[in-house]
């Protein structure tokens, strides 16, 4: 683990409220999912874009923690029986399996709320000033809300067992996973006081890796099914959801991933500072096997 990520892990849990004998359950629910072994892609994007645009890591940390809290809450609520009804997440029991549904709903709500409290915390304001903190929290609200991530989730919920057009799939993914990935890159830019050109480059990078990320997910879904279950390619394992693979075919999807990743790499060309961490990240996301 990089030094940045070690610092991030420490700072992340430092924002949790202290247990007082009354509210322990909700804090344990929050901590369980926050520390359940995420890849921390979003915080890395915040930190790396902040550094690339001349900002500092310490100031970027509260923004990185805030976006990871939002990502984590969305997984807790997504796993609930009334949503995807998942028993396992990253090989561990899902939050509601451990704490019950009420504490999972409340733990998720509390993480979403704490995300804003963290971005706007005393520490964050001391390091970033009121204006950057307010802009960061607003960006988070816009991208995590009904027009961003939550919008993607409602489209997903309503896409089961029906025909999905490529346009609908693109809009769903740009909201469901794309919005938070874009917000991560732009939070780094806000923290560093980036130029308009740098914001634009970050947005291009984010849009390309965001879409590539989703397509890789779809590829892995079918290739892992194929490898382990012998299912035909293109059939989603749990329901009749359309995916990039079912719409475009496996080969075309692999080509598209290469193309998108190359575009993401090109968007970094305007920077004079070291872009290698962000280049590695784009390639790692393309080549991952899980």
User: Which residues of the shown chain bind its own copies in the complex (CB under 8 A)?
Assistant: 17, 22-23, 25-27, 30, 73, 77, 80, 82-83, 100-103, 105-106, 108-110, 112-114, 116-117, 120-121, 125, 130-131, 133-135, 137-138, 140-142, 144-147, 150-151, 153-155, 157-158, 168, 171-172, 175
Complex with its own copies: residue 5 or 125, whichever CB lies closer: 125
Q: Write down the least CB distance from residue 273 to its own copies, Å.
A: 28
Q: Write down the least CB distance from residue 151 to its own copies, Å.
A: 4
Q: Write down the least CB distance from residue 272 to its own copies, Å.
A: 30
Complex with its own copies: residue 134 or 283, whichever CB lies closer: 134
Complex with its own copies: residue 82 or 227, whichever CB lies closer: 82
Complex with its own copies: residue 178 or 234, whichever CB lies closer: 178
For 141, the token pair is: 């609200």
Q: Write down the least CB distance from residue 165 to its own copies, Å.
A: 11
Complex with its own copies: residue 102 or 273, whichever CB lies closer: 102
CA 225 to chain centre: 24
d(CA 192, CA 129): 12
Complex with its own copies: residue 145 or 249, whichever CB lies closer: 145
Q: Write down the least CB distance from residue 67 to its own copies, Å.
A: 13
Q: Write down the least CB distance from residue 219 to its own copies, Å.
A: 25
Complex with its own copies: residue 142 or 274, whichever CB lies closer: 142
Q: Write down the least CB distance from residue 200 to its own copies, Å.
A: 20
Give 112's Cβ-side CA count (13 Å radius): 17
């Amino acid at each position: 683990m990089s030094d940045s990520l070690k610092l991030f892990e420490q700072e992340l849990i430092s924002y949790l409220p202290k247990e007082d004998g009354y509210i322990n359950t909700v804090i344990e629910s929050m901590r369980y999912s926050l520390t359940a072994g995420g890849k921390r892609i979003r915080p890395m994007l915040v930190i790396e874009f902040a550094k690339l645009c001349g900002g500092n890591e310490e100031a970027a940390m509260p923004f990185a923690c805030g976006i990871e809290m939002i990502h984590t809450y969305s997984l807790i609520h997504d796993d609930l029986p009334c949503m995807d009804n998942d028993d396992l997440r990253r090989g561990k029991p899902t939050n509601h399996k451990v704490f019950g549904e009420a504490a999972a709903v409340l733990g998720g709500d509390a993480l979403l709320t704490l995300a804003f409290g963290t971005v706007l915390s005393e520490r964050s304001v001391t390091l970033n000033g009121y204006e950057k903190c307010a802009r960061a929290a607003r960006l988070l609200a816009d991208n995590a809300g009904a027009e961003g991530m939550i919008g993607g989730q409602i489209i997903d919920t309503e896409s089961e067992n029906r025909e999905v057009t490529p346009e609908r799939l693109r809009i769903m993914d740009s909201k469901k996973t794309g919005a938070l990935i874009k917000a991560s890159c732009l939070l780094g830019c806000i923290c560093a006081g980036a130029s308009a050109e740098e914001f634009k480059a970050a947005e291009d990078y984010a849009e390309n890796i965001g879409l590539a990320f989703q397509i890789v997910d779809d590829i892995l879904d079918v290739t892992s099914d194929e490898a382990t279950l012998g299912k035909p390619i293109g059939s989603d394992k749990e329901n009749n959801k359309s995916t990039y693979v079912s719409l475009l075919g496996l080969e075309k999807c692999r080509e598209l991933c290469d193309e998108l990743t190359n575009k993401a790499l090109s968007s970094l060309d305007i920077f004079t500072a070291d872009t290698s961490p962000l280049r590695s990240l784009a390639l790692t996301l393309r080549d991952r096997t899980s």
